[in-house]
Amino acid sequence: MTGRLTVIDCDPGTDDALALWLALGSPELDVRLVTVAGGNVGLELTLANARAVVGLAGLPVPVVGGADRPLLGRYVSETRVHAANGIGGITLPEGPPAAPGVASDAIRDLLRRAGPGEATLIGLGPATNLALVFATEPALADRVREIILMTGAWGEGNITPGAEFNAASDPEALAMLLAAGLPVSLVTLDLTAQAFVTPERLAALRARGEGRCLGAACDILAAVPTSRRFGFAGFPLHDPCAVALAVRPELLAVREVAARVECGEGPGRGRTHLDRWDRWDRWDRWGAPANVRLAETLDADGFFALLGERLAALP
């Protein structure tokens, strides 16, 4: 099987770590490049974590650092969920050195060598690196088969009442991607809430094998605090859902909708407005063409079975 030419941009991040292992363990994807931004924790740590995660899988995928801050606004971390080191306080062996250069340049180089509609981009953190690619070379949009972003929400946020962390971290970057004529697919908090990690699911995952990546993934999950939004019964697993959309799209139901993100200052900054019921059409005849594919439902049991199968396939 020839996998989809894939770039993953991330901010590891406990869920980013599992998403990277899911992608690296899936033959449907040919992961050629991992790029990193500051996000859950600062860039120095997210880069070290990405190198360690890729290194533990024993695969020669280059890891390149990028933006340590958003295009505008202030950098905010999320150590309450990911702990001070970004991966739940779990220690992984140090990975290979980062590849030289800057994330956005590395992505542009890869896209220049790709054919039309050949590359899949998966964004798992603030969208800064990805936005810089198309701000500096917009014509590369035609090399993109799909850009899948774990970002946003149609319901409540998780870093402010209205905004999800990645969107709120760099709303201008997300707005640029929405305006770049790219085939955008969104995986929001409302979708990832369906990928709910419970003690039973974690136990089933751990029982799938003895490999070092599976063991580390389960140790990382065991360190994630349960979510008060869900009555402390468990927590949603965000980033692997975005990878699952590329690996096994039939696990998610997707619909085309109009999407916008708020960039101004004030309580709505980073809020994604997702018009699932064509309300903009009726509000003032303003109208708004559908510009994203929105993942709305997930086959959760199928997702966790895929995650276990692919993590168990890694060393």
| Residue 238: active-site member | yes
Residue whose CB is less far from ligand RIB, 153 or 213: 153
| Residue 128 touches ligand RIB, criterion: CB under 6 A | no
| Residue 166 touches ligand RIB, criterion: CB under 6 A | yes
Q: Which position's Cβ is nearest ligand RIB?
A: 165
Residue whose CB is less far from ligand RIB, 65 or 125: 125
Dist CA 228 CA 244 (whole Å): 26
Residue whose CB is less far from ligand RIB, 56 or 150: 150
Dist CA 36 CA 106 (whole Å): 11
Stretch that binds ligand RIB, among 7-15, 30-38, 64-72, 302-310 (CB under 6 A): 7-15
* Closest C-alpha to 254, from 146, 166, 167: 146
Orientation angle between helical segments 103-113 and 128-136, nearest 10 degrees: 50
| Residue 270 touches ligand RIB, criterion: CB under 6 A | no
Give the residue, chosen from 16, 78, 105, 190, that forms a contact with Ca ion under the rule CB under 5 A: 16
How many chain residues are in contact with ligand RIB, going by CB under 6 A? 15
What residue type is assigned to position 87 of the chain? I
Give the residue, chosen from 6, 7, 8, 16, that forms a contact with ligand RIB under the rule CB under 6 A: 16
Residue whose CB is less far from ligand RIB, 41 or 107: 41
Burial 17-26 (b: 16+ CB within 10 A, else e): bbbbbbbbbb
Stretch that binds ligand RIB, among 30-38, 68-76, 157-165, 273-281 (CB under 6 A): 157-165
164 binds, among Ca ion, ligand RIB, none (CB under 5 to 8 A by kind): ligand RIB
Residue whose CB is less far from ligand RIB, 120 or 272: 272
188 binds, among Ca ion, ligand RIB, none (CB under 5 to 8 A by kind): none
Burial of 3 (0-12, 13-18, 19+ CB in 10 A): middle
| Residue 164 touches ligand RIB, criterion: CB under 6 A | yes
Give the residue, chosen from 13, 25, 62, 211, that forms a contact with ligand RIB under the rule CB under 6 A: 13
Burial of 300 (0-12, 13-18, 19+ CB in 10 A): middle
Q: What angle do CA 44, 266, 183 make, to 5 degrees?
A: 65
Q: Find the largest Cα–Cα distance for the chain.
A: 58
To the nearest whole angstrom, how small is the minimum distance from the Cβ of residue 223 to ligand RIB? 14
Dist CA 195 CA 102 (whole Å): 33
Q: Restricting to residues 88-127, name those near Ca ion by CB under 5 A.
A: 124-125
* Residue 183 and residue 289 in contact, taking contact as beta carbons nearer than 8 Å: no
Please tell me which residue in 208, 238, 293, 310 is annotated as part of the active site: 238
* Residue 63 and residue 94 in contact, taking contact as beta carbons nearer than 8 Å: no
Give the residue, chosen from 7, 13, 46, 237, that forms a contact with Ca ion under the rule CB under 5 A: 13
* Closest C-alpha to 98, from 73, 65, 76: 65
Dist CA 149 CA 226 (whole Å): 24
Stretch that binds ligand RIB, among 8-16, 195-203, 212-220, 276-284 (CB under 6 A): 8-16
Quickly list DSSP for 74-101: -----HHHH-TTSSTT------PPPPSS
Helix, coil or strand: residue 146:
strand
Residues forming contacts to ligand RIB in the complex (CB under 6 A) are 11, 13, 15-16, 39-40, 124-125, 150, 158, 164-166, 238-239
- Indicate which residues carry an active-site annotation: 238
